[in-house]
Structures are given as structure tokens and as C-alpha cells.
């Protein structure tokens, strides 16, 4: 298995997202062949410039990390990062709407971003923040993400509600449409964790510890 090719090499912590570290992130993505580089919207142009001429796409976030932005705000944010070169979007589902039972609002929110992205040849990963949901809510989220035509369902933002678990990956995999892939994210720090999540059904991993995972050098985990 080409483990690096399953990893979105990620740096989203605002206190760590300095220009030198984003540049390092991109150099590492080229060196190890990661699936994408995932950065805050402000750094998309820099990442696009550094990855020009490589097959590595730039990913950015929409409605991150809380998901409570209005649908037109998310769509505008998505349009902006696509305009400056992002080709993958990780958007946060409207958790408040889901918990309020407003499935129509959740669906419409996702469809708005998915439609825009697909028109421009980009893909969308919908973050459902499993740590904030009960099992029934996770299942509803999986069904709504499938109905919206998103490309991936993603377990978590990694900001405050816990990270990826094998149980959540299995649950989401069993309830999304066959066309929807699963991205595990949050707290993935070792090769063993990464392989276990992939074995459970994840197709992509989001982590800031990609170099440590592929090299086995745990000391590199602290780089971000």
C-alpha cells in the first residue's frame, strides 16, 4: 500500500499556520507524495503556487470549524477558494440544524457547495463531527451526505470533539452510498492508527503527522 497517497497533509491550526510552515508542508507533500495539502483559505494561493506542476491538489476548508455559517456564506467561501486554485473542499455540516431535526436545511447547505464545486471539477468532503453526534444522528448525517451527492464523508474537524475512531469509520461506511468515500480525521498520529482506520473502511486520512506516519519517525509528529 502507498500509505502517503491516502493522506491529506494538513495544517489548519491558526497559531501554527505561518508562511514558513505552509511552505514546509508543501515541500513535504512533494517529497512524500501525499494525496493533497489541506490549508486555511488564506494560504490557498501560496500552496497552489508551490505545488504547480505536481499532481498534488490543494484542499481548503469551508464553514470551518463549527459549521454554523449561513449557506450563502459557505457557498461564497467555497467560490473564493476555488477561484484561487483549490480543487478539494472540506466543508463542515450544519451541526445545529442536524440536531434540530432540520434535515432539509442540512441537505440544502451541502447541495449548495457540492453543486458549485462539481461545476468546477472539484470534490467535496463533508465533515459531520462524529464526536458531537449520537449514533442516530451520525446515520442521518451519512444519509444526507449521500443524498447531497458529496464525494466524501469526514469523521471530524479535529477541533474539540475528539478524533477519528474505528467504530465511526465503520458506521459511516455502512450508511453512506457506495459512491461516497470516507475520510478519517482527528488525532491520527501513528502508522498503526492509520492502517487500522484504512482497514476499517477509510479511503482518505486527514492528519498533520503525515511525515511521521509514513517514515515511522515519531519525533516528526510534533512538527505541526
Note if 99 is an active site residue.
no
Q: What is the mean pLDDT of residues 136-153?
A: 98
Residue 41 has pLDDT above 60, yes or no: yes
Could you write out the DSSP letters of every residue in 109-165?
Answer: HHHHHHHHHHHTT-EEEEE--GGGS-HHHHHHHHHHHHHHT-SEEE---SSSS----
- Residues 173-192: pLDDT tens digits? 999 999 999 999 999 999 99
Confidence at residue 160, expressed as pLDDT on a 0 to 100 scale = 85
Burial 194-207 (b: 16+ CB within 10 A, else e): bbbbbebbbbbbbb
- Residues 109-141: pLDDT tens digits? 999 999 999 999 999 999 999 999 999 999 999
Confidence at residue 1, expressed as pLDDT on a 0 to 100 scale = 79
Confidence at residue 200, expressed as pLDDT on a 0 to 100 scale = 98
Task: Name the helix (H) or strand (E) containing 43.
Answer: none
Average pLDDT of the chain is 96
The CATH number of residue 21's host domain is: 3.20.20.70
Q: What is the mean pLDDT of residues 144-173?
A: 96
Which one of the listed residues 125, 138, 181, 183 is annotated catalytic?
Answer: 183
Which one of the listed residues 74, 125, 154, 181 is annotated catalytic?
Answer: 154
Instruction: State the residue for C-alpha cell 470534490.
Output: 123
What's the pLDDT band for 221 if we cut at 50, 70, 90? very low
Look up the pTM and report it.
0.96
Question: Between β-strands 204-207 and 7-11, what pairing exists: parallel, antiparallel or unpaired?
Answer: parallel
Enter the C-alpha cell of residue 9. 497533509
Contact 109, 78 (CB under 8 A): no
Confidence at residue 224, expressed as pLDDT on a 0 to 100 scale = 30
| φ/ψ (deg, to 5) at 10 | -120, 140
Note if 90 is an active site residue.
yes
Q: List CB contacts of 215: < 8 A, sequence separation 6 or more.
A: none
- CA 147, distance to chain mean position in Å, is 19
Confidence at residue 220, expressed as pLDDT on a 0 to 100 scale = 53
- CA 175, distance to chain mean position in Å, is 19
Contact 21, 11 (CB under 8 A): yes
Task: Name the helix (H) or strand (E) containing 185.
Answer: strand 181-185
Confidence at residue 217, expressed as pLDDT on a 0 to 100 scale = 79
Single out the residue of 53, 59, 8, 2 nearest to residue 29, CA to CA.
Answer: 8
Counting the structural domains of the chain, the total is 1
The whole domain housing 57 covers: 3-223
Confidence at residue 223, expressed as pLDDT on a 0 to 100 scale = 36
| DSSP symbol at 81 | H
Which one of the listed residues 90, 94, 109, 168 is annotated catalytic?
Answer: 90
Residue 8 has pLDDT above 70, yes or no: yes
Confidence at residue 219, expressed as pLDDT on a 0 to 100 scale = 58
Confidence at residue 187, expressed as pLDDT on a 0 to 100 scale = 96
Note if 183 is an active site residue.
yes
Q: Which pairs from 136-143 meet CB under 8 Å and 24+ separation? A: 137/98, 137/99, 138/168, 138/171, 138/172, 138/175, 139/171, 139/175, 140/98, 140/103, 141/93, 141/98, 141/106, 142/171, 142/172, 142/175, 142/176, 142/180, 143/175, 143/176
Residue 222 has pLDDT above 50, yes or no: no
Residue 64 has pLDDT above 80, yes or no: yes
Amino acid at each position: 500500500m502507498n500509505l502517503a497517497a491516502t493522506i491529506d497533509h494538513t495544517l489548519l491550526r491558526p497559531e501554527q499556520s505561518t508562511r514558513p510552515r505552509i511552505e514546509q508542508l508543501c515541500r513535504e507533500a512533494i517529497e512524500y507524495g501525499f494525496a493533497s495539502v489541506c490549508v486555511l483559505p488564506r494560504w490557498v494561493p501560496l500552496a497552489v503556487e508551490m505545488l504547480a506542476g505536481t499532481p498534488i491538489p490543494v484542499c481548503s476548508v469551508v464553514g470551518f470549524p463549527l459549521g454554523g455559517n449561513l449557506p450563502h456564506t459557505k457557498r461564497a467561501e467555497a467560490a473564493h477558494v476555488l477561484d484561487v486554485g483549490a480543487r478539494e473542499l472540506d466543508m463542515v455540516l450544519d451541526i445545529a440544524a442536524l440536531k434540530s431535526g432540520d434535515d432539509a436545511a442540512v441537505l440544502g447547505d451541502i447541495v449548495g457547495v457540492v453543486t458549485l464545486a462539481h461545476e468546477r471539477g472539484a470534490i467535496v468532503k463533508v465533515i459531520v463531527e462524529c464526536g458531537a453526534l449520537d449514533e442516530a444522528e451520525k446515520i442521518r448525517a451519512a444519509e444526507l451526505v449521500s443524498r447531497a451527492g458529496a464525494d466524501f464523508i469526514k469523521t471530524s474537524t479535529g477541533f474539540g470533539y475528539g478524533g477519528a475512531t474505528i467504530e465511526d469509520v465503520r458506521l459511516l461506511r455502512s450508511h453512506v452510498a457506495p459512491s461516497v468515500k470516507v475520510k478519517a480525521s482527528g488525532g491520527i498520529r501513528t502508522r498503526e492508527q492509520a492502517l487500522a482506520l484504512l482497514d476499517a473502511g477509510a479511503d482518505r486520512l486527514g492528519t498533520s503527522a503525515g511525515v511521521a506516519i509514513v517514515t515511522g519517525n515519531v519525533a516528526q509528529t510534533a512538527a505541526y
